Structure 1
Amino acid sequence: MRLVRVAVPVPGLGLLTYRLPDGLQAPRGTRVVVQVGPRKLTGLVTHDNAPLDDTPARLRDILEVLDDVTFLPEEVVDLALWVGDYYLAGPGEVMSAAMPPKGWLRSDMTLALAEDAADAAQQVPRELPLDQPVDEAILALLRAKGPVLRRQVARVVAARVRDLEATPEIISRAVRRLLKIGAVRLQPVVTGQADASRKQRWIRPTPAAFEPATTRLGAKQAAAVGVLVGTPEGIDAGVLREQGIGSEVVRRLVALGLAIVEWRAVARDPFASGSAGTSEALAAPLFLPMTPEQTDALAALQPLIGQGFQPALLHGVTGSGKTQVYLRLARAALEAERGVLLLVPEIALTSAVASLFRRAFGERLAIQHSGLSDGERYDQWHRIRRGEVDIVIGTRSAVFAPLPRLGLVIVDEEHDTAYKQDESPRYHGRDAALVRARDAGALAVLGSATPSLETWRHASEGRYRLVRMRQRVNDRPLADVRIIDMRDVLASEGPEVVLSQPLREALQACFSRREQAMVLLNRRGYAPSLLCRGCGKTTECPNCAVTLTVHRRAAQVRCHYCGHAAPLPSTCPSCQGEFLEYTGVGTERVEQEVLAACPQARIARVDRDTMQRRGAIGTVLARFAAREVDVLVGTQMIAKGHDFPQVTLVGVVSADIGLGVADFRAAERTFQLLTQVAGRAGRGDARGEALVQTLHPKHYAIVMAARQAYDDFVGHELEFRERMRYPPWLSMINIVVRHESLATALKDAGLLAEKLRALGAERFGVLGPAPAPLGRLRGESRVQLFLKGRDRAAMRQVTRQAITGMPSLQKRVTVDVDPLSML
């Protein structure tokens, strides 16, 4: 008897063991259909020779093997298993992240007649009176069509018997009644197709079409044969229709044995459809002359390709030309017949980098990110899987791309928090990329102007090779950064001022010189809250412990956590007072203020509100690169990695937003954001300038960002972290317990903390429990506790053991290993 272990896409569920029936083959990475409880699910084989457990009689058989060959490569299966183990996520959840869209078949239930349905309908208990019209309609449907998906029963019945006026609720009650009396039964099924490729109808000539005609053909038929003979490999049926050759002519040729109809897979190309975006890279030169520092960096890194796992930090100031080093490293890897994986933190950066690399290396390149349609992601994934791709560029999830012979892994802007997923599996794309490179024996290059403290410590202590580029290309100076003390501005200009006079004048001067500017505020909406001056209350989300953000253009107040939205009130919801005041500023307000300062300027706004349409951000950035936009206003989406040579001015509206967050990383993030956004200015021939508005002009993160003094900042911050016993000097796990009742959440979290302390045996510290800074989210109270220590393995093992011992808690607990958010 052969046993296999299978991962199924059920949150928190571990690997399951099944019997593999004789005659079936299911190697690692193969998709299978299995029974889990009452449901049939698609699973993935992770181990094809599992050890026999103590209860073989209870094992179920694999129901079906979906793939003739391995679907998910072994190296991706290994990475997914590591992610699940390290980040305490179910292996099936991680496999789902590694799968292409439609990789899992859908688990469903059908409604079917019971064998004794007729007898059962006659024996209805008195407490369940038969609703004759609706019940009979359901039974008639099942007799006529056979099993029907349960989720479709209400729609189909309502369509067949419109005169019943049966609502979905009435039909659902009837289904439950029929199930209870045994007239119908539920059957688990999986729906969908193992192959979700897009198919097109092609017409191909048979050998008979090339021989002299033995049958008299009509004019259109003869013309069609002529077209087919001219395209012996076949022709798209749509192209034939455009030439006046319709499906009736094709059917006649098939009947005569002159043509064959085939369904062929057609790739959905994101570059052709525009989903990959247009970018500033389209007009940029490819391989530019190298600076001495770039040459030295390449000389240090290129020989490491093919020498086994080699982690390296490429620390280059903004504008130092890291992308040129990436291009040449990729060329060296391709020449060594090794694949290249390049991760970027945001979808907006993918289009620019992918366009540049595609121009340099041709079409054997694929992109992977959530901005593509499901079909495009599916086809791109399968191109990679078939070996048609040498370079993969994408966001966090691209780390699971099935790219063979991996020789180079690049993580650009490695410090960016977007690499950490904020839902299960809560993995860090950078760290997963390092493991992927380790397993493949590849060079891993982490690039940043502001490396995370964790990465910097590894590099400074010799675990990563450190390569530095301290000068901008062509010896261009870094932008001049001026700090504007908003305490003085508010005192002189009043509390309503958004743009200080120096920033307004700088924008006007920039516009008059026909140069471009970027204005950053890392908060979207018009105002973060709506205050009643009568009762002093703010408009709050009914589901979360946050105020509702004002979106003036949409005339709504919205919660940016749960999505709750309501019309913008004209009176106070609490006291019905009429004196409502917008408090705080968002990007929508900044856009309005910039337009007031520069009425003739062409302004675009980049935030989640304006960039919801697929491909929208690529379009805006392309317009900005083409100088069709003068001022770009946005959140942190505009601060990362973009190269616009005509930008000479950067304005930061409120540099201290992030400093007030209850998070020990607040100063680091503020320093990184300010340094990165200031680095967007002065990348061309003209000198750049950055104006930073702040209420805390003496804060070390702001002062050192203004000087762009990374070494000074990292020394100061590391000393602070060591004193306070925070990462990177030790590790943390953030555990959040949720419940509708705060008292219950506190009680359960307290029990969990006791169990953790008992099992931990003082190998690590347990802090809390206490209400989380974001105390209520999506209708649930949140209570938080932290594990802090140096023994990562023990912390994870004890956490897993403690939660497993509290089954009632498992669906109400969130575990975040190496958390980047303390909220």
Structure 2
Amino acid sequence: MADNSIYVDVILPLALPGTFTYRIPNELASDISVGVRVLVPFGKRKLYSALVYNIHSNQPSGYMVKDVIQLIDDSPIVLKSQIKLWGWISTYYMCTLGEVMKAALPSGLKMESDTIVTAGEVDGFDLTDEEVTLLHLLEQKKKLTIQQLAQKSGLKNTMKVIKSMLERNLLYVNEEVESGFKPKTETFIRLSEEYSNEEKLCQLIDSLNRAPAQQRVILAIAAQNTKSENYNPVSISRKALLNKVGVSASVLKSLIDKGIVIQEYEAVSRLDEDKSADALKQPFQLEDFQVKALDEINEKFFEKDVVLLHGVTSSGKTEIYIHLINDAIKKGKQVLYLLPEIALTTQIITRLRKVFGNRVGVYHSKFSDNERVEVYLNMLSDDKSYDVILGVRSSIFLPFRKLGLIIVDEEHENTFKQYNPAPRYHARDLSVVLAQMLGAKVLLGTATPSVESYYNAKIGKYGIVKITERYSGLQLPNTLVVDTRDARKRKKMKSHFSETLLNAIEDALSRKEQVILFQNRRGYSPFVECDDCGWVPHCEHCDVTLTYHKYTNQLTCHYCGYAIEQPNACLACGSANLKPKGFGTEKVEDELQIFFPDAVIERIDLDSTRSRAAYEKVITGFELGKIDILVGTQMVTKGLDFDRVSLVGILNADNMLNFPDFRASERSFQLMTQVSGRAGRKEKQGFVIIQTSQPDNPVIEHVVKQNTNSFLEWQLTERNQFRYPPFYRLIRITLKHKDRNRLYDGANALTVTLRHVLGENVLGPEPPLIPRIQNQYILELLVKLKRDKNIVRIKEFIGRSILMMKQNKETASINISIDVDPY
């Protein structure tokens, strides 16, 4: 008998290879389409929302095909262009489609079932204390998840107790799925249909003469309505009504109970949007050199799909972006404006909304999940979609239907790279791929191009436009290098500050100017050491020293979160002579308050600005001149624009220069040049002081000379000589296991397999800089491949080799992750 069933291949939000096939029940067949979510059973009990990847009539053989339980969406929530991009990511970055789905969709659009526990009949059973505890919890709340039961009961062996109770039917379990996204609703009040004409309304008002509070409520609602023969009832917000009339909620409830007024719930936006700000405004007038750059960019876009805009700091790149966005919107196109940090959105969104109003949407991880879902769904809507999306790397996964331009601001930043979990993509590179798929253009903007982008422009793959002038004729800052070794010998260092820097800060403050101090390490000090025996507190779970945070008086691991109170005495010899060593932003802030007691000092790093509000408060305060000195990590280097900053101090360039990474020189140059660019942005030349014990380091010399091209050419020569990108491709394979011996055995076996085909292109296995994190030992293999190698076949071979390890009982438990283009 012929099988007329329809089948779907779906993507599950799990790190499992391939897609999974389900049968579509006949009653759902007419409504199914690629890109919608369906509820499907998976494994023995679990239910997941899966995404329809393909629809066909090919019945799978060899296993019983399960049915789709439910259709979740009426129309696709993922466009075909997005699914195509997901496939490219999965292949190029060597990850599963499920991992891409997890990264691409906001959590509220991914659902999985929870195991719900309910109580059964307990009469006639002798119960243990543990069982009584669980049943009491279920009496208070009729159903709980297993995780909730474990948490609330505080029992160590919850699963064992539950299993025993299930066997005796004292408990029952079933799977329930809840939608992660719940629209925000607001209560609105309107008059009943009975009072839909003016005559009846007047009679009602007269009848309430003895209830003046109720009468005032009716009059306030009636004031919202159109005065016409055909009375048109209009609702009013319940909150606004009560505030306006000044009555209690009980007065309103009385009118609702009588049926005089109707209470309704309407979905409202969670997003902070000005509904009146939809009209386009004219962008600021560009200066002549900016007009020239804009014309060159548009000319290059006729020849190339990607253009690198290399403009010195303070050259007004953002204004050029705004003009390009304006042109794209006038052509009916959408623009994606990618930023490396959430931090930057605070300033940029203000500038964009002055011109584009409510046409700008914002998307980043400091939004709640419900807010992210709302932005995502708005992008799918005809009347709510945005013309401009401003966001960080994850915004590349939004559903664009008419994308015309992608702007990658500060394209050199390593924060565009996703490290964990998979997919380990680079948003700059992915923007080029997405633009090719959708016929859009890409503009990469920066004052310090990445070596790769510079090389692509040099060989003609990208167009390049240069801006060498600063906005309003500003001069580049004057840079002074202070040799800290020499300063210490001459007793000209006070703690971590040279006399030169302290004097410059004092001068700036006396002129009512602002100062930025950059120290690329957070916390009070990197570690604490016993001066008598040399003992240093380490993390129990990671091979790393604990960082001292004075504010909490704790020693904290920045890798796993393990923390202990600062000990009063050495745990090795008992000495009370424990001293913080080195310095982080917290210590800099602390000591500055001693040197400059009258100055207002704030710190901006991951510890001090964990919330969006905290960050915005500091930035706004600094913009308004309420803060004199801003101390920060690399968060202060990223394109922020402050009018009153005249001095920038880099407190310790050495910890960047000496990092064991082939990109250390490139990143040091970029950070120092970028943070220097914050100085002297209005009216006068700025001043930059770099403190280092290596004043003759070539990177420092290039920063002082402000010669980016010379630096990049030097880096290209070194990269070619030592076989690094852009001349070679890199694939890093990381192996982790709690058993060190098993890890080494597995890593060595994988190395032998890979070298059999790839030979000396496989380096390692070697432990990374931190060889153990969260009780997992780590080893790394690095595959270096020439650009002309068949990368697709090599990736397939690596994938098969890892799959063989997963199928081997001895090595199956080793956690293996792959990072393509890892640095």
Fold similarity call, TM over 0.5: yes
Aligned equivalents of 2:754, 2:762: Cα separation in 1:
7
Residue 562 of structure 2 is aligned to residue 564 of structure 1: yes
SS in 2 for 1:641: coil
Q: Which runs of 5+ in 2 are unaligned?
A: 225-232, 276-280
Aligned partner of 1:60: which letter? K
Select which of 512, 515, 519 maps to 2:513: 515
Aligned partner of 1:265: which letter? A
Offset at 1:593? 3.2
5 Å-filtered alignment, 1:533-548, equals: 533-548=531-546
Counterpart in the other structure of 2:364:
369
Counterpart in the other structure of 1:799:
798
Aligned equivalents of 2:577, 2:138: Cα separation in 1:
61
Residue 620 of structure 2 is aligned to residue 622 of structure 1: yes
Counterpart in the other structure of 1:236:
237
Counterpart in the other structure of 2:163:
176
Residue 340 of structure 2 is aligned to residue 339 of structure 1: no
Aligned equivalents of 1:725, 1:155: Cα separation in 2:
52
Aligned partner of 1:817: which letter? V
Aligned equivalents of 1:553, 1:695: Cα separation in 2:
29
**C-alpha distance 36-471 of structure 1, shift in aligned 2 (>3 A):** same
Aligned equivalents of 2:622, 2:753: Cα separation in 1:
56
5 Å-filtered alignment, 1:564-713, equals: 564-713=562-711
**C-alpha distance 489-272 of structure 1, shift in aligned 2 (>3 A):** farther
Offset at 1:199? 1.1
CA contact (8 A) 1:490 1:497 kept: no
624-633 vs 256-265, which deviates more?
A: 256-265
Counterpart in the other structure of 2:718:
720
Counterpart in the other structure of 2:270:
268
SS in 2 for 1:97: helix
CA contact (8 A) 2:526 2:581 kept: yes
CA contact (8 A) 2:49 2:111 kept: no
Q: Deviations over 1:513-549 (max 9, x none)?
A: 2111111110111211112222223221111111111
**C-alpha distance 71-290 of structure 1, shift in aligned 2 (>3 A):** same
Aligned partner of 2:84: which letter? D
238-247 vs 11-20, which deviates more?
A: 238-247
Select which of 32, 35, 39 maps to 1:26: 32
Select which of 425, 428, 434 maps to 1:427: 425
Aligned equivalents of 1:111, 1:617: Cα separation in 2:
42
Counterpart in the other structure of 1:403:
400
Aligned equivalents of 1:492, 1:674: Cα separation in 2:
26
SS in 2 for 1:48: strand
Offset at 1:180? 3.5
Aligned partner of 2:69: which letter? L
90-99 vs 221-230, which deviates more?
A: 221-230
Counterpart in the other structure of 1:207:
193
Residue 762 of structure 2 is aligned to residue 746 of structure 1: no
SS in 2 for 1:17: strand
**C-alpha distance 819-134 of structure 1, shift in aligned 2 (>3 A):** closer
**C-alpha distance 56-226 of structure 1, shift in aligned 2 (>3 A):** farther
Aligned equivalents of 1:133, 1:742: Cα separation in 2:
41
SS in 2 for 1:377: helix
Select which of 82, 87, 97 maps to 1:91: 97
CA contact (8 A) 2:274 2:358 kept: no
CA contact (8 A) 2:653 2:691 kept: yes
Offset at 1:508? 1.0
Aligned partner of 1:819: which letter? P
5 Å-filtered alignment, 1:317-332, equals: 317-332=312-327
Aligned equivalents of 2:754, 2:260: Cα separation in 1:
75
Select which of 350, 358, 371 maps to 1:355: 350
Q: Which runs of 5+ in 1 are unaligned?
A: 125-129, 159-166, 274-284
SS in 1 for 2:379: helix
CA contact (8 A) 2:515 2:630 kept: yes
SS in 2 for 1:527: coil
**C-alpha distance 695-774 of structure 1, shift in aligned 2 (>3 A):** same
Select which of 7, 11, 22 maps to 2:15: 11
Residue 804 of structure 2 is aligned to residue 818 of structure 1: no
Select which of 292, 297, 308 maps to 1:296: 292
Aligned partner of 2:240: which letter? V
**C-alpha distance 481-449 of structure 1, shift in aligned 2 (>3 A):** same
Counterpart in the other structure of 1:161:
none
Aligned partner of 1:192: which letter? S
**C-alpha distance 757-64 of structure 1, shift in aligned 2 (>3 A):** farther
SS in 2 for 1:493: coil
Aligned equivalents of 1:616, 1:596: Cα separation in 2:
24
Aligned equivalents of 1:337, 1:543: Cα separation in 2:
54
Aligned equivalents of 2:814, 2:6: Cα separation in 1:
33
Counterpart in the other structure of 1:767:
763
Aligned equivalents of 1:30, 1:395: Cα separation in 2:
26
Residue 65 of structure 2 is aligned to residue 79 of structure 1: no
CA contact (8 A) 1:46 1:77 kept: no
5 Å-filtered alignment, 1:367-516, equals: 367-387=362-382, 388=384, 389-425=386-422, 426-493=424-491, 497-516=495-514
Aligned equivalents of 1:31, 1:770: Cα separation in 2:
43
**C-alpha distance 753-574 of structure 1, shift in aligned 2 (>3 A):** same
Offset at 1:553? 2.7
Aligned equivalents of 1:140, 1:612: Cα separation in 2:
38
Aligned equivalents of 2:620, 2:220: Cα separation in 1:
41
Aligned equivalents of 1:48, 1:13: Cα separation in 2:
16
Offset at 1:265? 1.0
Aligned equivalents of 1:356, 1:41: Cα separation in 2:
45
**C-alpha distance 356-453 of structure 1, shift in aligned 2 (>3 A):** same
SS in 1 for 2:568: coil
Offset at 1:602? 1.6
CA contact (8 A) 2:484 2:493 kept: no
Counterpart in the other structure of 1:188:
175
Counterpart in the other structure of 1:282:
none
Aligned partner of 1:23: which letter? E
**C-alpha distance 788-137 of structure 1, shift in aligned 2 (>3 A):** closer
Offset at 1:681? 0.8
Give the TM-score normalised by structure 1.
0.90
Offset at 1:139? 7.0
5 Å-filtered alignment, 1:524-535, equals: 524-535=522-533
CA contact (8 A) 1:764 1:795 kept: no
Aligned length: 786
Counterpart in the other structure of 2:65:
59
CA contact (8 A) 1:415 1:448 kept: yes
Aligned equivalents of 1:706, 1:33: Cα separation in 2:
60
**C-alpha distance 151-272 of structure 1, shift in aligned 2 (>3 A):** farther
Aligned partner of 1:175: which letter? I
Aligned equivalents of 2:737, 2:12: Cα separation in 1:
27
CA contact (8 A) 2:514 2:645 kept: yes
801-810 vs 21-30, which deviates more?
A: 801-810
Residue 220 of structure 2 is aligned to residue 227 of structure 1: yes
Offset at 1:644? 1.1
Aligned equivalents of 1:94, 1:548: Cα separation in 2:
34
CA contact (8 A) 2:406 2:442 kept: yes
Aligned equivalents of 1:251, 1:68: Cα separation in 2:
37
CA contact (8 A) 1:314 1:467 kept: yes
CA contact (8 A) 2:11 2:53 kept: no
Give the TM-score normalised by structure 2.
0.90
RMSD over aligned Cα atoms: 2.8
SS in 2 for 1:45: strand
Aligned equivalents of 1:155, 1:545: Cα separation in 2:
30
